[in-house]
Structure 1
């Protein structure tokens, strides 16, 4: 946690300390002034002294209020700025995560770490800049001043303080493990809730509404029971502290009364001592609250640091080459590429070797799990190859920055993702300065112009989160158009035509071949009809390239491709 708090401005910490010292000194001086009024004013009937000292008390009270406001300002500002920095750093870190890192943490856990865990750090930082400074200074100052007022009465603290330490230690012993478990249970609750929202259609289709509701109730009850237990334990602190403080007051009053009767203690000093005693006990209470909250914040800090310290698997070279758009001179080369998922014994891709040039339509086909998506994910460096090399325009993509690489590669993933906003905003995602003419041209190639032009607001039509107000086929066509708006040498379509009907699929492929002659098209497909007219078809089977050629050549001599074609033809005949 110290590593995170180091992000707080040193100047702000100094200012918070200065204001807090002023506040504490002012607060500590007030009981002495009260004692002086009683001993030197009330007891002697000196009205002028009472007025004079009363104005001093008002002055010190105002100074205390101003100092408290100054301390609160710096404490609040720095805690909120720290939260802002942490959220920003986590988001930027996660944006550069590899797919493996995403799988390691999980979306629900990352959301919890960015919200709940950061809030814990903010709260403890603010407590640190207020209570953690206030409590020790008050404790030391009040103890010294109480001893000055009457040394005999301070022996009461020899009994009270050990009792308080045992109380705080016992509460921490039981509460801290529960606070840590609550973080994990919050992750679990968010995970179940998120799955229930994103998978609501599947849940209803399988009539599993009651099952998912029970699943959520179990996670919710588990979290609730833990929260009730830990808050009940912590809640015991306040009444027990009040009991101790009340007992301390009784003891001070009892012994102080005897000392007054014996003429060894003045009434004003007794009242001042009681005030200092309360300040001492309240300081212990503040410290105990900090000791309870710090372990909880430490658990949050560990979870945040776990994200921030995650090593980047895909790194930019220290002295990168520069890859520029080549248009009709573009080339793509897979030079005996192999890839293995982390921890796997078997290669996911082995000895993938092919070349393509501008205007080529490269199709990739194969059974489920054959490595099609893995292969195209290597192009924008979502993964890095284990051996071999991928070259665009003759330059190894490992020798250029990821930003530079993704400037020349257009990518449409399996799942069409649209962002909330307007169609125009989504189309400009890869090219912010795109003109309406360029957007309409991309929409026309993607076979989306007709339905977009029919919308009342055209390009300004709203897109709901995830594109939920469009059909699956419309989302795919908009995602394809978004990639085409951006000028690139290589366009990758990862099974991006799957939701299109056969006619739209055929029209889209024809438009791509006709209008995108200056680029290389790499298409992953399940349908034979999608790949039949490709310039090069790559046939994958269990990560190996078992066939390469045109439809006609593969039909002549490739058994795997023949099986795929014949199985789909039979299915179409049955339909």
Structure 2
């Protein structure tokens, strides 16, 4: 936790929080002493003037204690909340810059838990540290000293009481701490199941699997609940037993103090003060025990957050990266590319070699799982090649700054993703300075202008995930967004799959005729032969291996794998017609 707080917490804020806390403790310890004097020298002797004088002092010290307490709470709250804010910012920033390998190591649901629940645990511990953890030891030592000053004989009671509390708190920690740590993992599981249920609700309904998913959620929910019940039941036992110990301590003090007063060995005021100090000692010990129970849970959360922040990416920029120049023509090269996923035994891509110039279209086709999406993920450097090289505008993608590289590429992912807001905001995602005319031009190319005009134009509201549009409309809008960005390489990852044949053909025709696209390289990943047939070059992948490269005519004549794809789709089309 100290590692997380080191650069995210103001040292001055902590210092002043500690000073305010010390002031609060000193005033709290001084008040019982004033009460003792008021009883001994004012009430016992009937000295009204002394009572008024001592009362005014007590009022002044109480006000001062409130001021110190307010200052400490304010600074502790600001510090803990500020720490949480910076942690969430750092985690989110880290996630945005993660490579795909890093992202796969943690998982979406766990990242959500770490950004919310785990950060809250860190905030709570920070607050407790600046309040209880600082107050408790100072109060414990100070109250013990003051109690001894009032009566040394009565302090022997603590020789019995404190060991009992130590044993009791030790037992509670032994059982509670592992359960608190387990709650974070169980929260991850609960979030995972709940998130899958939310995102897949349509599939669940379509397959009438709501009962199955409900049971799956119930299992995770019950598991979390059982763990929470156990730990909070243990904690619930702690408070009444601590109260019992405190009450027993008070009885012992009154019993023994009463005998001392009867024998005139102790003043009444001293016994009242001693009782207050005794409660401060026991409360301090209780606060320390609470801190020691919750710190392990906070440490578990800190370890989980550190694991995310300390992830080291294999994808790093050179200290002196090469720079793209505007006068260099667009190009894309795969030079004998081999790629292997992290920890995999076999290569996912083998021997991919292709070279495309500005104005040309490269298509990639192959069966499901053949490595098409993997190949295009190497272009923006979401993954790094194992051997060989991927080049954009003649430069190896490993030799240029990642942001500069990704600025040269406009990507339409396999799953169309739209963000909540207006259509204008979505289209300008890659080019914030785009004019409305440029946006409409992109919509025209993407065959989206008609249905957008029928809505509210560029001010059409887009729901989260674009759920107010059909699958084909979302794909076309995602394509339009990519076209708004001025790039050297346009990548369409199976982005025409939800389009009918006519719309697919019209869109590709519009792409070929656009003057801006003619200056760039277009990469199309497709399942349908009709989508890739007019490409200048077609890469044929089979089980991660490049088994063919050429035009549609060349491959149809000379490549068995490509011919099988063509024949299977022709046969499928005939079967449908029949």
Measure the CA separation in 2 of the matches of 1:335 and 1:211. 49
Q: How much has 1:100 moved relative to structure 2?
A: 2.1
* 1:530 maps to 2:511: no
Structure 1-normalised TM-score? 0.99
Q: Which residue of 1 aligns with 2:467?
A: 468
Q: Which residue of 2 aligns with 1:458?
A: 457
Q: Does the Cα contact within 8 Å between 1:326 and 1:393 map onto a contact in 2?
A: no
Structure 2 counterpart SS, 1:236: helix
Residues 241-390 of structure 1 aligned to structure 2 (within 5 Å): 241-326=242-327, 329-390=329-390
Q: Does the Cα contact within 8 Å between 2:372 and 2:525 map onto a contact in 1?
A: yes
Q: How much has 1:326 moved relative to structure 2?
A: 4.7
The superposition leaves residues 508-551 of structure 1 with CA deviations (integer Å, 9 ceiling, x where unpaired) of: 11011110211110000000000111111111111111111111
* 1:108 maps to 2:109: yes
Q: How much has 1:8 moved relative to structure 2?
A: 1.4
Measure the CA separation in 2 of the matches of 1:430 and 1:326. 22
Measure the CA separation in 2 of the matches of 1:32 and 1:127. 28
Q: Does the Cα contact within 8 Å between 1:40 and 1:49 map onto a contact in 2?
A: yes
Structure 2 counterpart SS, 1:517: helix
Q: Does the Cα contact within 8 Å between 2:101 and 2:383 map onto a contact in 1?
A: no
Measure the CA separation in 2 of the matches of 1:313 and 1:418. 29
Q: Which residue of 1 aligns with 2:178?
A: 177
Structure 1 counterpart SS, 2:317: coil
Measure the CA separation in 1 of the matches of 2:18 and 2:223. 41
Q: How much has 1:101 moved relative to structure 2?
A: 2.0
Measure the CA separation in 2 of the matches of 1:150 and 1:536. 96
The superposition leaves residues 310-346 of structure 1 with CA deviations (integer Å, 9 ceiling, x where unpaired) of: 112211111111113457x211111111111111121
* 1:216 maps to 2:221: no
Q: Which residue of 1 aligns with 2:70?
A: 69
Measure the CA separation in 1 of the matches of 2:330 and 2:267. 96
Q: Which residue of 2 aligns with 1:94?
A: 95
* 1:572 maps to 2:558: no
Q: Which residue of 1 aligns with 2:551?
A: 550
Q: How much has 1:446 moved relative to structure 2?
A: 0.7
Runs of 4+ off more than 6 Å: none
Measure the CA separation in 2 of the matches of 1:102 and 1:321. 27
Measure the CA separation in 1 of the matches of 2:105 and 2:68. 47
Q: Does the Cα contact within 8 Å between 2:361 and 2:522 map onto a contact in 1?
A: yes
Structure 1 counterpart SS, 2:518: coil
Unmatched runs of 5 consecutive residues or more in structure 1: none
Structure 2 counterpart SS, 1:153: coil
Measure the CA separation in 1 of the matches of 2:62 and 2:484. 66
Residues 27-176 of structure 1 aligned to structure 2 (within 5 Å): 27-176=28-177
The superposition leaves residues 154-182 of structure 1 with CA deviations (integer Å, 9 ceiling, x where unpaired) of: 00000000000011100000001111111
Q: How much has 1:146 moved relative to structure 2?
A: 0.3
The superposition leaves residues 8-58 of structure 1 with CA deviations (integer Å, 9 ceiling, x where unpaired) of: 111111000110011110010000000000111111111101100100000
Do the aligned partners of residues 325 and 573 (structure 1) sit closer, same or farther apart at CA in structure 2, a change above 3 Å counting? farther
Measure the CA separation in 2 of the matches of 1:160 and 1:4. 37
Residues 498-513 of structure 1 aligned to structure 2 (within 5 Å): 498-513=497-512
Per mean C-alpha deviation after superposition, the further-off stretch among 387-396 and 117-126 is 387-396
Count, aligned residues: 573
Measure the CA separation in 2 of the matches of 1:146 and 1:204. 69
Kindly report the root-mean-square deviation, in angstroms, between the aligned alpha carbons of the 2 structures: 0.9
Q: Which residue of 2 aligns with 1:429?
A: 429
Structure 2-normalised TM-score? 0.98
